[in-house]
Amino acid sequence: MSDLLTKTIVAVLMSLFFCFVNCVMLFALKSKRIFQETPRYILFSHMLMNDSVLLLVTTIMYAVALCFLPIPKSICTLLVFISYCTFRNAPLTLALMSLERYVAICFPLRHCNIATPKRTGIAIGIVWFLSSINIMTDIIFVLTVNPDYLAGIIFCTLEKLFLFKWQLDKYQAFDVLYFVSVAVIIIFTYISIMITARSVSSDKDSAKKALKTVLLHLIQLGLCLTSFLYTSIERTLYMMTGSNSSLFINLRYLNFLIILILPRCLSPLIYGMRDEALWPLFKYFFCYRSGKVKQNCSSQTYDNIIAA
């Protein structure tokens, strides 16, 4: 019992800590108006909020499963819906961020007209629609077949929403489609920016920064992809060790922390650390304005950094 409590506390504290880090970054982004009006920082803010919600919901679901607590199907459906959408929002948001850098470098004169805050908000809405359409069809289908479905109490997992095998096949097909599409977009933008960087001599520094940013998005996509291996790894561990062994329980716990949680924690942090405009502000607010870290950038300096 003490071992179970320790595991639950570690998982919860780890998620809460990185949610706090994300919240500090969000606060830093809200502290400067230029961040709120720049498309790439609007998208980064969305990624921070999305990953924070995902961390909280995933940790709640795992803690409930770890303690073998049955919950009402209605609450389970809501938790599954939120975790499903936020889980798939991340790669789609990375694709948007890469496209924004592609427009900024390859079409610099049209960037201000194409990548506006309003259009960025519309794009985020489309991301949510694309990420939710699959799970919404499953929920509607289940309620159509069994109108009393939400009245029961179950152990909460995504598979509980599946009544037929074709639903699982559809679920896996959508995941493959999401990641292949996002990978193609990021690779396309990287190659396009690389070609532009070689052909244009006047603004090579900006092009190189954009190349590094898109390459970082590709690495972040790889981190997202590791999360999709969580179920496959768990099934392999189950086949190798059996569900009742202590080895399986411990390995399953490590699988949850390292494969599912850690990539979501590191991805926004890595992106924020390499940002010349955001990182000093983050350190300033993270230290509770103690004076140990000072804001060295003026408003004009922020404008110049962001424009680059």
| Residue 209 included in any domain | yes
pLDDT of residue 124: 95
Task: Examine residue 294 and state whether it is found in any structural domain, yes or no.
Answer: no
Mean pLDDT by 10 residues, the chain (308 residues): 76 86 90 88 92 89 79 88 89 89 86 91 94 88 83 76 75 82 87 79 64 76 73 73 69 80 77 80 76 51 50
What does pTM read for this prediction?
Answer: 0.84
How far lies 52's CA from each of 48, 181, 253, 271, in Å?
6, 24, 20, 15
Report the domain count for the chain: 1
Q: Domain residues for 276?
A: 1-281
Residues with Cβ within 8 Å of residue 119, at least 6 apart in sequence: 39
Tell me the C-alpha to C-alpha distance, in Å, between residue 262 and each of 88, 89, 92, 144. Answer: 16, 17, 19, 38
pLDDT at 269: 77
Cβ within 8 Å of residue 48, ≥6 positions away: 22, 25, 26, 29, 268
Cα 22 from Cα 47, distance rounded (Å): 9
pLDDT at 152: 80
Q: Is residue 308 part of a domain?
A: no
CB 24 within 8 A of CB 293: no
Residue at 226 is within a domain: yes
Q: What is the pLDDT of residue 245?
A: 65
Count the neighbouring beta carbons within 10 Å of the beta carbon of residue 280.
Answer: 17
295 belongs to a structural domain: no
Residue 307 falls inside a structural domain = no
Q: What is the pLDDT of residue 242?
A: 65
292, part of any domain? no
Quick one: 261 exposed, middle or buried, by C-beta within 10 A (0-12, 13-18, 19+)? Answer: buried
Q: Is residue 296 part of a domain?
A: no
Q: What pLDDT, on the 0 to 100 scale, is given for residue 217?
A: 73
pLDDT of 45? 92
pLDDT of residue 297: 52
Q: What is the CATH number of the domain that holds 141?
A: 1.20.1070.10
